[in-house]
Amino acid sequence: MELRKSALGLAALGVSSALLLSACGGGGSDGGGSAGSYDQGTTEVVNASEESGGTLRYAISANMESTDPGNTYYGYVWNFSRYYARTLLTYSPEPGAKSTEPVPDMAAEMPDISDDGTSYTVKLRDGLTYEDGSAVTSEDIKYAVARSNFGEDALPNGPRYFKELLADSDDYEGVNANPSDPLAGFDGIETPDDKTIVFHLKKPFADFPYVLVQPQTAPVPADSDKGQQYQQHVVSSGPYKFEDDWKPGSGLTLVRNEEWNADSDPIRPALPDRITVEEGVDQNEIDQRLINGELDVDLGGTGLGPAKKGEILTDEAAKANVDNPETGALRYVAVNTEVEPLDDEACRQAVMYAADHNSLQRAWGGAAGGEIPNDVIPPTIKGHDPDLDLYPSEDDKGDLDKAEAKLEECGEDGGFETNLGVRSDRPTEVAAAEALQASLKRVGIEVDIKQYPSDSFTNTQAGSPDFVHENELGLNVYGWIPDWPTGYGFLSYIVHGDNIKDAGNSNVSELDDEQINDMLDQAVETGDEQEQERLYKEVDRRVMEAGAILPIVFEKSVLYRPENLTNVYFSAGYAMYDYMPLGTTNQ
Amino acid sequence: MSAPSDAPEKQVEDSGAAAGQKTSAAANRSLRQIAWQRFRRDKVAMAGAIVVLLLIAMAVLAPLLTKLLGFPPNEFHQSLMDPLTGGALKDPDDPAAGIDPWGGMSAEHLLGLEPVTGRDMFSRIVYGAQISLLVAFGATVLCVIIGTVLGIVAGYFGGVTDTIISRAMDIFLAFPLLLFAIALAGVIPDGAFGLEGNALRVGLLIFIIGFFNWPYIGRIVRGQTLTLKEREFVEAARSLGAGSGHILFRELLPNLITPILVYSTLLIPTNIIFEASLSFLGVGINPPTPSWGGMLSDSLDFYTTSPHFVIIPGLAIFITVLAFNLFGDGLRDAFDPRSSD
């Protein structure tokens, strides 16, 4: 799948603005002393409280993608929809790196995996109910997976991992093909009783628990399903339900669902009495209202917009309310392995040596915008290698002597010319492109910057190998955040040779290295975590050696944490604050 | 404007000295001389004209100016910048001193530094003038050529020709130009029509702005032609057996020069703003080539910490547009037969 449109996804990756940032907000009612310190929410719970009541106020700069848990690819919806749509598993409700571990939500415990690794059996908890008091059954979960993944009229927005992975389901045509028995022929999921659900996979896939975290496993009663219009009123299985119908742009209000059993739910303290979402509010306005205390959370989860970011980071007092966590995204320049002369590894290595990483980081907003990477896998994901440093240079400004030597080695003494593709409407990416252009010029590599609209960039320009070859786009500014935080989730789409596609290609470097492909395939079939980590580290090194990815930053967001917001911490699983535990001191 | 010749000046002095001779003096002067005399007395218009000339000189002499007073427009000076906010440091040797609210303006960097990159703002403004003026002039010339030819033809021939051309004008005027420009710039490949990169971009901007704005001038020319073609000198030429081509371009066109000239001067500022808007929306020139609209667009992310980055390109556009407008207004007044001498 492309980038998880989640926090940063397809649309947002690189946007670096609208969707990415955000955070929480709230208004400060009491003094700043207890409100936490700079970056505290990245690793600790800030303002811990069990105080319930009040209204928690969210706002978002666009319209919500959808409220339907089966029809979304944005991380903020995955995070937010849990208020009213419980999933089988979810990310652990704790700050820091532990938040990337899946834990049971509706499941009574973690799935029972068969010895051959191809079947996952999940038992449901007791006391799971909908807003009308009826019980959640395992068949409702099977139905939810069917409507979101299968058939020509499957819901369009979400990923299709279940379709890709489930066995015995390729002939199944979706829930509308056979109205009298919508699940006939869907044999990849078995529901031996109302409390048991069994997933049969085509082959072992060690990351499957992460697929069960996705909101497509939230139960949908078959008789309430209205296809894409189900988003008007999602039948709640969580602590909150819709007050009125939702349509895009109308805003959303959630009120308490009296039928929800707190005993059945270890994830949600459900503190506020009401939750409101305002849609289509300008990012600068959201930021200002967060700071003023007129808003509690920026739903998009991508942090402050660029203008407010500069203001807040220079204000020592306000900085105490700021968190600066890594989002799990890697921003990079894909160095194409097919376009001449970069098809020669030594020429790509010359680019790696010549790049001024200090300048690239400045383009991305300095240290608050992200850390300078020496490898590809972000620190929050197993396989990251902090000791790797294949292209060392003083102050990260590039090693021009080595770069010139590499240029000689690939027969391009004195440099060459190539083109650099970039999304025109993303100022940070254009700034990075200009920084790279200036730094490569130092060794005679002349780069022409070509701008494309971001709507089509990942699909028909950088995402199309033919286009890339025709226009000699040796370099493309790109970014990646995985659908789930594992080495496979992160690496497979951007470096696995089998993922080179004619359109919508995310392996923009067109790297097709047999060794890398094999190691990735092995890693996801083995259940052995140490072996996985070893393999991911090896792939990480190999990609850097090949010079196929020139990392810009491991991106960080600047999240504003209003003082009246309680239980605030950053969840690396969603790359934003964890929305479930939030409470507010506003009444 | 043409340079003043000695003769009219003398005449002006004469006429001032001896009021009784005024009538005969005026009769001796051509329309252009009268206009120049009026224009010269209009201080505001003169100021506009001088600023316009200076701007043109600045654009033409950009390489020399930056060599003397600035730096290469694409040269980074990141050691002078704060990595966190991108703002210019008060003291590069002591980063803790914070950022300079004046954006690093100094004797070396006259207009300060661009945030993050530390590129010299003066050089980028000077080079940006090249793009703005080139596109504005090019587009205006294109407007004038298309508008004059079609306007004069429609007005003179009338009938079906007039109907077709006038309806075409209506269609062009109703066209959502800005949206079309954005869409077109998105689909035009990087190389086309034998041009590449920025040359193509500039050509494209000129084409888009020029090709879709001609009806404004076309309507004026058509209206003027409708009145002129009934005049005696046209009748005379026709009765002497002159062909349509001769009448159009030898008889009518010289009499249309004045409104065309005045209108083009007023069209230039509109085109400058249009170019800036397109650059602002990301449809303009490729980086790192500077353009005013592009700078303004980039500056929005930094308005809280580096306000000069917003103000300077904004002022550049403002001053240019104002100067052209004052100049054009003055020119129109000077040529207006109803205004007093």
Q: Any chain B CB within 8 A of the CB of A14?
A: no
More confident residue, A86 or A180: A86
Residues in chain A within 8 Å Cβ distance of B300: 307
Q: Closest by alpha carbon to B48, among B336, B334, B320?
A: B320
**pLDDT of res. A376:** 94
Q: Which residue does chain B place closest to A304, by CA atoms? A: B301
Q: Any chain A CB within 8 A of the CB of B101?
A: no
Q: Model pTM?
A: 0.80
Using one digit for the tens of pLDDT, what is the confidence trace for A226-247? Answer: 999 999 999 999 999 999 999 8
pLDDT band with cut points at 50, 70 and 90 for residue A35? low
| CA-based max dimension of chain B | 86
Using one digit for the tens of pLDDT, what is the confidence trace for B79-115? Answer: 888 888 888 888 888 888 888 888 888 888 889 899 8
Q: Any chain A CB within 8 A of the CB of B301?
A: yes
**pLDDT of res. A20:** 31
Q: Give strand pairing partners of B94.
A: none
pLDDT band with cut points at 50, 70 and 90 for residue B10? very low
* Rounded Cα–Cα distance for residues B309 and A282 (Å): 22
**pLDDT of res. B186:** 65
Class of residue B144 by CB neighbours under 10 A (exposed 0-12, middle 13-18, buried 19+) = buried
State mean pLDDT over A82-96.
Answer: 95
Using one digit for the tens of pLDDT, what is the confidence trace for A141-178? Answer: 999 999 999 988 889 888 889 998 999 988 899 998 88
Class of residue B13 by CB neighbours under 10 A (exposed 0-12, middle 13-18, buried 19+) = exposed
**pLDDT of res. B18:** 43
pLDDT of A321 over the 90 cut: yes
pLDDT of A532 over the 60 cut: yes
**pLDDT of res. B208:** 86
Q: Closest by alpha carbon to A538, among A357, A382, A342?
A: A382
**pLDDT of res. A451:** 84
Q: What is the CATH number of domain B53-75+119-334?
A: 1.10.3720.10
pLDDT of B290 over the 80 cut: yes
**pLDDT of res. A355:** 95
pLDDT of B22 over the 60 cut: no
State mean pLDDT over A525-548.
Answer: 92
Q: Do A359 and B76 touch (CB under 8 A)?
A: yes
More confident residue, A109 or B1: A109
Q: Within its chain, how far is the Cα of B5 from the centroid?
A: 26
State mean pLDDT over A530-540.
Answer: 93
pLDDT of B192 over the 70 cut: no
Residues in chain B within 8 Å Cβ distance of A430: 287
Class of residue B194 by CB neighbours under 10 A (exposed 0-12, middle 13-18, buried 19+) = exposed
State mean pLDDT over B9-33.
Answer: 51
**pLDDT of res. B337:** 67
Residues in chain B within 8 Å Cβ distance of A448: 197, 286
N-term to C-term CA, chain A: 42
* Rounded Cα–Cα distance for residues A498 and A184 (Å): 33
Q: Any chain B CB within 8 A of the CB of A424?
A: yes
* Rounded Cα–Cα distance for residues B28 and A419 (Å): 64
* Rounded Cα–Cα distance for residues A291 and A470 (Å): 48
| Residues in CB range of A363: below 8 A, 6 or more apart | A428, A431, A432, A434, A435, A552, B116, B117
Instruction: Quickly count: other Cβ atoms within 10 Å of residue A245's Cβ.
Output: 12
The crossing angle, in degrees rounded to 10, of helices A427-441 and A345-354 is: 100
Cβ-based contacts under 8 A for chains A and B: 85
Class of residue A199 by CB neighbours under 10 A (exposed 0-12, middle 13-18, buried 19+) = buried
Residues in chain A within 8 Å Cβ distance of B73: none
pLDDT band with cut points at 50, 70 and 90 for residue A14? very low
More confident residue, B204 or A288: A288
State mean pLDDT over B58-66.
Answer: 90
ipTM of the predicted assembly exceeds 0.85: no
Helix and strand element counts for chain A (H, E): 18, 24
pLDDT of A47 over the 70 cut: yes
Q: Which residue does chain B place closest to A370, by CA atoms? A: B84
Q: Any chain A CB within 8 A of the CB of B99?
A: yes
pLDDT of A83 over the 90 cut: yes
What mean pLDDT is reported for chain B? 83
More confident residue, A368 or A96: A368
Q: Do A363 and B116 touch (CB under 8 A)?
A: yes
Interface test with B, best of A362, A371, A473 (most B CBs within 10 A): A362
Q: Which residue does chain B place closest to A423, by CA atoms? A: B282
**pLDDT of res. A528:** 87
**pLDDT of res. B246:** 85
pLDDT band with cut points at 50, 70 and 90 for residue A447? very high
**pLDDT of res. B182:** 77
Instruction: Quickly count: other Cβ atoms within 10 Å of residue A426's Cβ.
Output: 23
Kindly calculate the radius of gyration of chain A based on its CA atoms and give it in whole angstroms: 24
Tell me the residues of chain B between 267 and 286 that have a Cβ less than 8 Å away from chain A. Answer: 282-283, 286
Q: Do B83 and A366 touch (CB under 8 A)?
A: yes
pLDDT of A27 over the 70 cut: no
The Cα of A430 is separated from the nearest Cα of chain B by a number of Å equal to 8
pLDDT of A199 over the 70 cut: yes
Q: Which residue does chain A place closest to B191, by CA atoms? A: A471
Domain ranges of chain B: 53-75+119-334
pLDDT of A23 over the 50 cut: no
